[in-house]
Structures are given as C-alpha cells and as structure tokens.
C-alpha cells in the first residue's frame, strides 16, 4: 500500500469527524440563539431527578439487549465469543458512540476488538452490520406503526413527508434484500444465515422490539421528569425523533435529535423549548447511563472464547 493510499482514508476519516463535530456544534448554536433560555432553565429546575435516574438505569438494559442480538448473530456466523464479553464490548461501543464524532466510532472499536482471534476484520464487520441492520428494521417497523397510529390519535397530521420517507426506506431495504448490489452481497448473505429459521426470526423480533420499548420508555421517563406528558406521542412522535440519531453525522446525535424533536413535537403543539429540553434530557441520561462501560477501556483486548 502506498503512502497516498494509506493517507487518503485517514484524511477522509478526519474530515468526517470534523464535519460531525461541526454539524452538532452548528445546530446546537443555532438552537441556543433561538430559545428562551429562562423557560428552558425553569423546566430543568423543576424536574424530578427520580425519573431521570430511572431513564439512566434503562441504558444497561438496552446494552444487554443489543449484546444479545450481536452475540446471536456472531455465533450464527461462526464467530464464537462469550455473552459476558458481548455485553462488555457493546457497552463500551455505546459509550464511545456518545462521545466520539460520527455516531459509529464505537461500532468501529467494537469490530476491531472483536477481530482479535478471528484473523481479519471482514467477518466481525459483517456481523456488526447485520446486527445493526436488524435493529434498524425493527425501528422502521415501529416508526411506520407510529405514523399510521398518528392519524388515529392526533388531530394534526404527521410531519410532512414522514410516511412517504419511511415507505421509501423500507422499499430500499426490501430491494437490497431481494437483489443485493455487489458491495452488499456478503452482508445480505450473512443476514439470511442469521435469519434463516423461525427460531432466529422470533429471537430477533422479540429482542429488537424489547429494545425499542426500552428506548421509548426512557424518553417517557424524561418527559415525566420534566413534567411534559407525552401521551400517545411516546408511540407516534418518539420513534420519528430517534430516527435522526441513525444519521452518522453528529456527536452522539446532538443537534440532529434536538432539531428533529422541535419539528416532530412541534406538530403536536409543543414549544421549541419543551421539545428541546426533552431531547437534551434524553441525551444526557443516555450518556450518564453508559459511563460505567468505560472500565472496559482499562482491560486488555480479550482473546476469542467460547460461550
């Protein structure tokens, strides 16, 4: 490999990291200048910390559910390692995704550490991609359900284009599954291995829907802490808000999530201050809940072990 070939990907990574920081910083600055800070401060001053604690305690539950999914996919692809290690590595991944630019840096570290004992990055990378794709499928289906439910429980229509956008993304997933392009053929093949039996489908459906449930519950706990009842919005609005965090171009979803919350909850009559306070609280409790996983950084990368 030439110096130019080695430097180019590194330059792209740095550019992407700087862009992610810029996106979050720019959006947060724009939000800061447009808000009534006294109203925002009042919401947090009157909040109930018990509900914030409950939301933070849900983060380890989410880590375990994600780790279960990743562990099952990895084992089905003949990448054996212990469930305990899966939980530890996924916890570290969640923490790093919160504090490093790009939103997927933690996943990159998880793949690199998983590579130990397996020889190359290719198989662990595909296992991580398959695991995340299964999660995105569940998120899309819950979001689609929420958009359909929106018309039944809210007076105002769902945010413009949300239904069409979700339908397009689902259609793209279906097309890729049925006729994968050359660059995704191995990933799709691995996905079919991971989902080939009824037992595997049921396992991933239960785990992924349970994970989505804990994410929505965490948002609801934050709304309770701030005295901002969500009502049906926990099923209709929150999945849409969380979709913004899928875009790998921010610092832990900051900025993108707040803008999404202001737009989506604004259609339900929420003020920008209330929507952004809820989104910011969710981001903070997720960071606090993920902090204990930092101890994994002080351990050596484990070798492959059987479960």
Distance of alpha carbon 282 from alpha carbon 52, whole angstroms: 9
Distance CA 22, CA 213 (A): 31
8 A C-beta contact, residue 279 and residue 237: no
Domain-embedded: residue 16? no
Q: What was the pLDDT predicted at 4?
A: 44
Q: DSSP string spanning 169-235?
A: HHHHHHHHHHS--GGGHHHHHHHHHHTSSHHHHHHHHHHHHHHHHHHHHHHHHHHHHTT---TTHHH
- The predicted-structure confidence for 22-76, as pLDDT tens digits, reads as follows 989 999 999 988 899 999 999 999 999 999 999 999 999 999 999 999 999 999 9
Lowest mean pLDDT segment, chosen from 62-66, 116-120, 150-154, 292-296: 116-120
Residue 238: inside a domain, yes or no?
yes
Residue 201: count other Cβ atoms within 10 Å of its Cβ: 13
**Could you please report the per-residue DSSP string of 8-41?**
HHHHHHHHHHHHHHHHHHHHHHHHHHHS-HHHHH
Residue 241: which of 164, 106, 146, 101 has the closest Cα? 146
Q: Is 25 domain-assigned?
A: no
Separation in Å, CA 249 to CA 8, 135, 149, 177, 288: 19, 19, 29, 25, 21
Domain that holds residue 233: 53-298
DSSP 273: H
The encoded tokens of residue 109 equal 């570290």
Q: Does residue 181 sit within a domain?
A: yes
Is residue 160 over pLDDT 70? Answer: yes
| Block residue for tokens 């701030």 | 226
Q: Inform me whether the pLDDT recorded for 5 exceeds 50.
A: no
Contacts of 33 (CB under 8 A, 6+ apart): none
What pLDDT is recorded for position 114?
85
At 9, the pLDDT band (50, 70, 90 cuts) reads: low
Provide the domain count of the chain: 1
| pLDDT score for 155 | 87
11 inside domain = no
Is residue 45 a part of any domain in this protein? no
pLDDT of res. 136: 94
**Mean pLDDT value across the chain:** 90
Q: Is the pLDDT of residue 2 over 50?
A: no
Nearest-angstrom CA–CA distance, 215 and 61: 10
Which range, 96-105, 241-250, 254-263, is most confident?
254-263
Average pLDDT over residues 206-214: 98
| 12 occurs within a structural domain | no
- The predicted model gives 171-182 an average pLDDT of 94
**Residues 18, 16: Cα–Cα separation, whole Å:** 5
120 band by pLDDT with thresholds 50, 70 and 90: confident
Q: What is the DSSP letter of 80?
A: -
Distance CA 257, CA 262 (A): 9
pLDDT band at 244 (very low <50, low <70, confident <90, very high): confident
Identify the sign of the CA torsion 130, 93, 214, 281. Answer: negative
Q: Which residues have CB under 8 Å from 221's CB, separation 6+?
A: 51, 52, 54, 55, 58, 285
pLDDT reported for residue 12: 66
Region 126-154: mean pLDDT is 95
Distance set, CA 298 to CA 89, 112, 128, 176 (Å): 12, 16, 23, 40
Please indicate, yes or no, if residue 210 is contained in any of the structural domains.
Answer: yes
Is residue 237 pLDDT above 60, yes or no?
yes
Kindly report the number of other CB atoms within 10 A of residue 157's CB atom.
11
Burial of 284 (0-12, 13-18, 19+ CB in 10 A): middle
């Amino acid at each position: 490999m030439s110096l130019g070939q080695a430097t180019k990907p590194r330059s792209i990574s740095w550019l992407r990291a700087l862009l992610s920081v810029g996106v979050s910083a720019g959006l947060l600055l724009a939000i800061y200048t447009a808000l009534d800070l006294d109203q925002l401060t009042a919401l947090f001053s009157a909040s109930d910390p018990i509900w914030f604690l409950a939301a933070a305690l849900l983060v380890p539950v989410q880590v375990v559910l994600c780790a279960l999914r990743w562990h099952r996919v990895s084992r089905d692809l003949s990448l054996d390692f212990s469930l305990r290690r899966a939980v530890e590595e996924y916890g570290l991944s969640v923490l790093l995704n919160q504090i490093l630019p790009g939103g997927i840096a933690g996943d990159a570290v998880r793949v690199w550490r998983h590579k130990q004992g397996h020889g190359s990055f290719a198989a662990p990378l595909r296992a991580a991609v398959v695991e995340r794709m299964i999660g995105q499928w569940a998120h899309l289906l819950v979001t689609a359900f929420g958009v359909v439910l929106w018309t039944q429980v809210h007076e105002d229509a769902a945010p413009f284009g949300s239904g069409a956008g979700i339908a397009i993304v689902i259609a793209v997933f279906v097309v890729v599954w049925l006729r994968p392009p050359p660059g995704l053929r191995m990933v799709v093949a691995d996905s079919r291995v991971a989902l080939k039996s009824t037992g595997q489908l049921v396992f991933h459906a239960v785990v992924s829907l349970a994970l989505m449930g804990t994410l929505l519950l965490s948002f609801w706990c934050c709304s309770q802490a701030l005295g901002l009842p969500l009502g049906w919005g926990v099923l209709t609005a929150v999945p849409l808000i969380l979709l913004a965090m899928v875009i790998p171009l921010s610092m832990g979803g900051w900025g993108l999530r707040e803008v999404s919350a202001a737009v989506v909850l604004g259609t339900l009559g929420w003020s920008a201050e209330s929507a952004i306070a809820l989104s910011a609280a969710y981001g903070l409790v997720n960071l606090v809940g993920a902090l204990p996983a930092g101890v994994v950084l002080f351990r050596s990368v484990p070798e492959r072990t059987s479960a």
